[in-house]
Structure 1
Amino acid sequence: MSDKLPNLPLAGVRVVDFSRVLSGPYCTALLADMGAEVIKIESPTGDDYRHVAPFKNGESALFTQVNRGKKSVVVDLRTPDGQKAVRHLVSTADAVVENFRPGVASRLGVGWDDLKSVNSSLVFLSISGFGQTGPWAHKAAYDVIIQGLCGLMSVTGQPDGPPTLVGEAVADVVAGMFGAWALTTALFERERKGGREAPGRYIDLSMFDSMLSFMVTSTTASLFTGEVPMRVGNRHPLSAPFGCYTALDGYFSLAVLNKKLFSKLCKVIGAEHLLSDERFATDLSRSTHESILRDYIEKWSGARNVAEIVSVFETEGVPCGPLLNVVQALSSDQAEARNILVPVEDRRLPQQHLVRQPAVFSGVVQTSLRRAPKLGEHTRELLS
């Protein structure tokens, strides 16, 4: 694996990564994209994601995406030699990331108390389902469990339908993003206080906590009104018209958040008489009578193609867009202009592209991503 990096913000930062599957590896993939040297510690059988479909040329798509740019070291943490090897690596590191269940890292000899003794400036991030404390701390946590417990499923789906799982492992990914933010925040603090001479930090990050922080609309509405947010289907829970609507050949989304935009919408659909109707005088009243507004909009849009609808609304300055599938989104002109798909330098996967982290830094041109490592590829290099 090439170590040639552009001028990336985290170049020179070393992270020892004990995490596996998704939340932790996604966190450290973001760090690797920004130049950090991420040393992935794997068991002799490797991360579970190495064995999860879909596969291409024998390589797991999921493992490749969330372990790009890392180095792999195989260590058996259940042995004294394995623990000794890991302690040596940690003594040279800036940060550690793990996503074991609470207590497991300590039983393996790689917990915070074990490793800060060999590196007092260490930033140590623990990602778990429910955090290190609380009555649920030792519960098993997978994305579907967290989505159910945090309330996300309860507000997703049609009003007369069942709670619905979001079509992405959002709890894992959100925790990974918060993890990368928390870890770099702690590293920034350490640098301001003396770098390697300053004390480190322990960070306890919960997927459950992360999702409650992520759900801004639902939690805030509940806290301010005392009401229980419920499913509202393909619309915004608080504003209208603000959601997904039917066209002749598909679907489109609208975002009307003020009276000026509502006036423009009514003009476009030929329903200007609604402007003098008290039921639609405010955003709150429009939300209350959303179903009536939907009927007016879809009576007009149901006779027109999505492309025509989007063009008309955009011309009038009303935020509107078509609903794309994933392939269409990845191949869109916007995705191409933003270079969101970056080639990965990997002989095992010729001409393969991956989705990069989304932030664009001035002075940094990301022309390729470093590949995911073979199992144990860097063991000899890093432990010799």
Structure 2
Amino acid sequence: MSSPKPGALHGVKVLDLSRVLAGPWATQMLGDLGADVVKVERPGTGDDTRAWGPPWVGGADHPAHDMSAYFTCANRSKRSVAIDLSSEDGQALIRRLAAQTDVLVENFKVGGLTQYGLDYASLSQVNPGLIYCSITGFGQTGPYAQRPGYDFLVQGMGGLMSVTGQADTEPGGGPMKVGVALVDVMTGLYASNAILAALQHRHRTGEGQHIDVALLDVQVAALANQAANHLVGGLVPQRMGNAHPNIVPYQDFPTADGHMILTVGNDGQFERLCTVAGHAEWAADARFRTNAARVEHREALVALLRAETVKRTTAQWIDALEKAGVPCGPINDIAQVFADPHVVARSLRVPMPGPAGELSTVASPLRLSATPVSYALGPPALGAHTEEVVREWLS
């Protein structure tokens, strides 16, 4: 599947010195949108995530385990060059490439590239229009700036684990991380947004700039309503399992054959839920008439609902509630996600070329009518494009 039209970022050159997830996630998005992304990797080993398997691209018997499934999630739409940054020749080559680059993304420790003369201050001298994005755990300033930062660590430090998981009083209670490296993913999204803003600024002024994106900053910003509940109301949000601090009913409920999710966002939806459940009188009950009242009387309402939801199967509830316009859904495992007819219709599984034949990746969620995302360039083999990139960029 490839786009017949140039992408929105066609002509933008990106030098990607990042590894693992946050930086590669940002540059993959830029590549999907048409930028020419060149991934700089260590000769012989490459990005750390190449070795984060199994599973491996090509299967367990593939002779060269240099591409894990993990690596493929964040490295399509790129070309790979193998350059030794610790060598003078490698540093000189990066400086020459950076002189031709629009955007450079790196996630070394603060000051880590200064010793090589590859920091923003040095490279902006040879390319004043360079947009240089640094992704770190804690940012370029502050008392934690020199600390290494990892997604799991920041989920704890940034408050996410304090509101994720069952309450301490419940079985299995205690802090819990999210099931994917969500801070890294969000950091990649914030970084790509900042890069696009910097490109627009340069379009107007010709000026490049240094972008400082930190995992901890992103995690705190993404606390959203939980942070607002604290800053405005003085509350310290706690773990509530699958319940919502501000909306009721908005959680999972047991059914005759499993569980379902109810996300009732307004009083009209609640009234229709009560009718479907055979208890229209609940909507008139002063304890439940408004969302604020339902939040106050959460325990009583949830107990009443659970007593009813176990009487029908998940499919029966979803069928009846969808007809009534009440938001609800199943709790799918990942295999069920990719088998879901809507996911299939939206083509969220994308076949791409790979070094061991065709492989599948997850589609970009960006749907642009005039400049659609391209899936022509699969995750690259280590150093596969070194000569090609040097010839194209430096000739």
| TM-score, normalised relative to structure 1 | 0.94
Question: What is aligned with 1:359?
Answer: 366
SS at match of 1:147: helix
The alpha carbon displacement at 1:20 in A equals 0.4
Question: What is aligned with 1:168?
Answer: 180
The alpha carbon displacement at 1:283 in A equals 1.1
* 1:143-292 → structure 2 map (5 Å cutoff): 143-159=151-167, 160=169, 161-193=173-205, 198-292=206-300
The alpha carbon displacement at 1:213 in A equals 1.4
Query: Can you give the 5+ residue segments of structure 2 that lack an aligned partner in the other structure?
Result: 59-64
Contact 1:342 1:367 in 2 (8 A): no
CA displacement 1:316-350 (0-9 Å, x = unmatched): 11111111111111221111221222111225132
The alpha carbon displacement at 1:5 in A equals 6.3
2: distance between equivalents of 1:289 and 1:349?
Answer: 57
Does residue 83 (structure 1) correspond to residue 104 (structure 2)? The answer is no
The alpha carbon displacement at 1:108 in A equals 2.6
Q: Aligned partner of 1:47: which letter?
A: D
SS at match of 1:158: coil
Question: What is aligned with 2:110?
Answer: 102
2: distance between equivalents of 1:368 and 1:150?
Answer: 35
2: distance between equivalents of 1:362 and 1:3?
Answer: 14
Given the alignment, which residue of 131, 136, 143 partners 1:128? Answer: 136
Relative to 1, partners in 2 of residues 1:235 and 1:215: Cα closer, same or farther, differing over 3 Å?
A: same
Greater relative CO, 1 or 2 (CA 8 Å, sep 6+): 2
Q: Percent identity?
A: 38
Contact 2:7 2:372 in 1 (8 A): no
The alpha carbon displacement at 1:291 in A equals 2.0
Does residue 56 (structure 1) correspond to residue 57 (structure 2)? The answer is yes
Q: Aligned partner of 2:233: which letter?
A: T
The alpha carbon displacement at 1:154 in A equals 0.4
1: distance between equivalents of 2:260 and 2:80?
Answer: 44
2: distance between equivalents of 1:102 and 1:310?
Answer: 51
Stretch deviating more after TM superposition (143-152 or 337-346): 337-346
Relative to 1, partners in 2 of residues 1:85 and 1:7: Cα closer, same or farther, differing over 3 Å?
A: same
1: distance between equivalents of 2:338 and 2:113?
Answer: 38
Q: Aligned partner of 1:176: which letter?
A: G
Stretch deviating more after TM superposition (368-377 or 353-362): 368-377
Contact 2:3 2:374 in 1 (8 A): no
Contact 1:241 1:294 in 2 (8 A): yes
Q: Aligned partner of 1:357: which letter?
A: S
Question: What is aligned with 1:42?
Answer: 41
CA displacement 1:169-192 (0-9 Å, x = unmatched): 001000001111110111012112
Question: What is aligned with 1:299?
Answer: 307
1: distance between equivalents of 2:128 and 2:23?
Answer: 22
The alpha carbon displacement at 1:371 in A equals 1.0
Q: CA RMSD in A?
A: 1.7
The alpha carbon displacement at 1:296 in A equals 1.6
The alpha carbon displacement at 1:255 in A equals 1.4
Question: What is aligned with 2:62?
Answer: none
Query: Can you give the 5+ residue segments of structure 1 that lack an aligned partner in the other structure?
Result: none
The alpha carbon displacement at 1:315 in A equals 1.0
2: distance between equivalents of 1:25 and 1:294?
Answer: 43
Contact 1:343 1:369 in 2 (8 A): no
1: distance between equivalents of 2:139 and 2:283?
Answer: 50
2: distance between equivalents of 1:227 and 1:245?
Answer: 26
CA displacement 1:3-55 (0-9 Å, x = unmatched): 98632101111000100011001110111111111111111121111111121
2: distance between equivalents of 1:359 and 1:106?
Answer: 36
Contact 1:236 1:242 in 2 (8 A): yes
Given the alignment, which residue of 338, 356, 381 partners 1:374? Answer: 381
The alpha carbon displacement at 1:199 in A equals 1.3
SS at match of 1:281: coil
CA displacement 1:211-234 (0-9 Å, x = unmatched): 111121211111110110001111
Contact 1:152 1:215 in 2 (8 A): yes
CA displacement 1:103-159 (0-9 Å, x = unmatched): 102123211011101100001100111100111111121111000011000001111
Question: What is aligned with 1:332?
Answer: 340
Q: Aligned partner of 1:50: which letter?
A: R
The alpha carbon displacement at 1:299 in A equals 1.4
Question: What is aligned with 1:7?
Answer: 6
Contact 2:14 2:38 in 1 (8 A): yes
Which 4+ residue blocks in structure 1 deviate beyond 3 angstroms?
A: 2-6, 364-369
| TM-score, normalised relative to structure 2 | 0.92
Contact 1:33 1:369 in 2 (8 A): no
SS at match of 1:224: helix
